[in-house]
Amino acid sequence: MPLFDPPIREYIKGGGYVELEEMLGDDLTPARVARISYLSEGTEEANKKLLKKLIDLGHYSPFEQQVFRFFIHGIPMYIGEQLLRHRIASPLKRSFRYTHPEKGLKDKKWEDVNFWNEIVHVPPEFLGLRNHHIDNPDELLSEIIQHYKRSFELYNKLVESGLRKEAARCVLPAGLRTTLYWSSNMRSIMNFMKLRLNKHAQWEMRELAKAMARILLKVVPLTMGYYLENENLLYLLDE
């Protein structure tokens, strides 16, 4: 069985990364706990076959005994909000009531798009990461950067004037990058993968799901591999 040596990090295309910090159980945990139904025991090979059978039959309750805690850094706020819709998970999100969006802004290069993409999500079409048919992309990218700059200047001005940070944040861009912990069991993660690896999911959310899937294929390759193959999702990781 693969050894889990935390943390395991995968970078998200477009910005940010995911780390697996802790895991409860291993690749064959669902098969072992499923045997409680018959008070049976099995060899490692028998448990591998049972694991596949559980997935083929859609018998997912034993997978609730596999639990993972992810540290997700640098995703856009609106992707974080979509993640919160997966309610059978336990999120703990960074607070912009108590933290500044980014320290040291005054010392940075305001016109550097790579600098801004670390703080606020720049659409991948403007970074050469996704094909587009946008008129005047260079001009529009310049306008995006100026908009970000004005938003942060106004935020700083409001805070320096004495306005509460939780009130001043109303002027910050919706694409502001955030950080959170996200704990979930494998059954819920399977549902997440089915919905968020789908071609109809938002590009940024799909890239987050791909990064998570790559991590899980390292630590629970049988579980994640069987499931993605069974749902015809495995090939999407290469797109």
Please compute the mean of the pLDDT values over residues 133-142 and round it to a whole number. Answer: 90
Would you tell me how many other CB atoms lie within 10 Å of the CB of residue 182? Answer: 23
Look up residue 56 and give its amino acid.
D
pLDDT at residue 38 is higher than 70? yes
Residues 193, 233 contacting (CB under 8 angstroms): yes
Q: Which of 21, 43, 41, 34 has its CA nearest to residue 64?
A: 34
Residue 22 is predicted with a pLDDT of 95
In whole angstroms, how far apart are CA 48 and each of 31, 101, 129? 7, 47, 38
Q: Which two tokens stand for residue 119?
A: 């703080």
pLDDT confidence bin for 161, thresholds 50/70/90: very high
pLDDT at residue 45 is higher than 90? yes
Please compute the mean of the pLDDT values over residues 93-100 and round it to a whole number. Answer: 79
Residue 141 is predicted with a pLDDT of 92
pLDDT at residue 85 is higher than 90? no
Q: Give residue limits of the domains in the chain.
A: 8-92+177-238, 102-171
Q: How many residues does the chain have?
A: 239
| Fold (CATH) for 8-92+177-238 | Gyrase A; domain 2 (3.30.1360)
Contacts of 8 (CB under 8 A, 6+ apart): 19, 20, 215, 218, 219
pLDDT at residue 93 is higher than 90? no
Which positions are annotated as active-site residues? Answer: 196
pLDDT at residue 4 is higher than 80? no
